[in-house]
Structure 1
């Protein structure tokens, strides 16, 4: 299984490895004994014990059986699932279609009170129109998802947008100026999307910043990411979806967001940039 280099993901893998190593010690075994009992090469035990290789559920069951701790297998497998949830490849996350990931994130949006979002290639989902969402998800579906549930996924994302208008929530969006011209939709749909962006930018609980192309930068564009309160960061990478909860790493993303936000234009300046992008559509 491919793994992320994130310290949050690594920390979760290390905790699981430590628990497995403790079982061996408590059973009075060493690595060679365990390997013989499981029918493995000793190097496999070493890699799992040092968190260099992530075990499978069957590996954990064999490990617990060899240590006389079969009653702990289910708990350790649950820990494995939590580790796997820290880093998910798009193939695994979307294997049942696009709707599921939209629905599963709804509780996170509902319990968050302060949102910070940075996007370098497309508008954030909370600011998308129905047609723009459909066009973006259709491109994703055609590229990597065998199941076509785009219509249901769009409906789920539209439902999630209710958090913009419910409760005492604050939203800070920062986008790169090219996002205004990255056309995944037809000209008409793109124009409607930009008009919607103008409207949303006037909501009292929304801050929308646009980082101009023509300026000296203090921070290069980075991957799209969301910060939920100060508790969690989600990052969209080419290969998958990363969840970060380690406080020091969350703080790093918060500092990066602050730097990017400080570079952005707001209010009338931002709206003039959006209007210029609309005008360029002809």
Structure 2
């Protein structure tokens, strides 16, 4: 699990533990009142086991905190939704997953995105998208014949960036190394770099690149996307982190601002893109 999901689960466990302590109950006394096994109570309080919603209701009633039941159940659902297993989501198919995100992108006035290893999805060229989704399909054992349709679905929202209407604005920060992690071969990467050069000049886009060997005030990490101040998404190998919690969104905004301060923009960013092209050409000629 991501650090944020783990932290949220531990924080929820602490809330339940504090309810018990504030009620002046020991673990054994709470067990007697709720019918829960004492070992289960201990595991719940140490975030080693998830309580059910019925467990939460019984816990609150035993602690004289029945008024907190709706709030705690809502918080519990939020914690559980923070972490969604890729395999469970991917059963719906790659095309469905790409298509269902389009309304979110259309309705987001400011998208802030950070990537350390890949080009942000909405900025990927077709060749790059196909190569990246083919890799994902192979990792997760998905049908390769779905890749083209999924690529079409992802590319269908790229016009929001390239044909600005004033409704959607973007702030991207990537690590310079993301430009050198090639997908689809050299020709695809040349096309991708050309597209990014164009992106740096779009009026609705701030495109920053963190130079290599720069003095770091924050380490590189997993990519994440902030949709207005309403939602944060982050994809890892085994799952996707999601949160709408204001405190978690504020945390990611703060992280993004720290990363943004490390980035260069405009002509300096274009120099880094051309440097990546130079690295690519050197490799081609070797």
Q: TM-score range by the shorter chain?
A: 0.7 to 0.9
SS of 1:183's equivalent in the other structure is: coil
- Aligned residue among 114, 135, 153 for 2:110: 114
Alignment of 1:1-282 (within 5 A): 5-6=4-5, 9-10=8-9, 31-32=31-32, 35=35, 43-44=39-40, 52-54=48-50, 84-148=80-144, 149-164=146-161, 165-282=164-281
SS of 1:6's equivalent in the other structure is: helix
SS of 2:226's equivalent in the other structure is: strand
Change (3 A) 1:114 1:41: same
Question: How far apart are the structure 2 equivalents of 1:259 and 1:45?
Answer: 40
Change (3 A) 1:63 1:204: closer
Q: Which blocks of at least 5 consecutive residues in structure 2 are unaligned?
A: 21-29, 62-71, 282-286
Question: How far apart are the structure 2 equivalents of 1:182 and 1:3?
Answer: 23
Question: How far apart are the structure 1 equivalents of 2:177 and 2:210?
Answer: 9
Question: How far apart are the structure 2 equivalents of 1:222 and 1:109?
Answer: 23
8 Å CA contact retained: 1:88, 1:241: yes
Count of equivalent residues: 256
8 Å CA contact retained: 1:8, 1:246: no
Name the counterpart of 1:24: none
Question: How far apart are the structure 1 equivalents of 2:47 and 2:279?
Answer: 52
Q: Which blocks of at least 5 consecutive residues in structure 1 are unaligned?
A: 22-29, 68-75
8 Å CA contact retained: 1:31, 1:45: yes
The 10-residue stretch of structure 1 (231-240 or 158-167) with the greater mean CA deviation from structure 2: 158-167
Change (3 A) 1:259 1:77: closer
Q: CA deviation at 1:48?
A: 6.0
8 Å CA contact retained: 1:94, 1:145: no
Name the counterpart of 2:24: none
The 10-residue stretch of structure 1 (223-232 or 119-128) with the greater mean CA deviation from structure 2: 223-232
1:45-80 alpha-carbon deviations (Å, 9 max, x no partner): 77569875336xxx768999xx9xxxxxxxx99998
8 Å CA contact retained: 2:172, 2:206: yes
8 Å CA contact retained: 1:115, 1:227: yes
Q: CA deviation at 1:121?
A: 0.2
Change (3 A) 1:94 1:41: same
8 Å CA contact retained: 1:7, 1:249: no
The 10-residue stretch of structure 1 (76-85 or 222-231) with the greater mean CA deviation from structure 2: 76-85
Change (3 A) 1:103 1:216: same
Question: How far apart are the structure 2 equivalents of 1:102 and 1:121?
Answer: 20
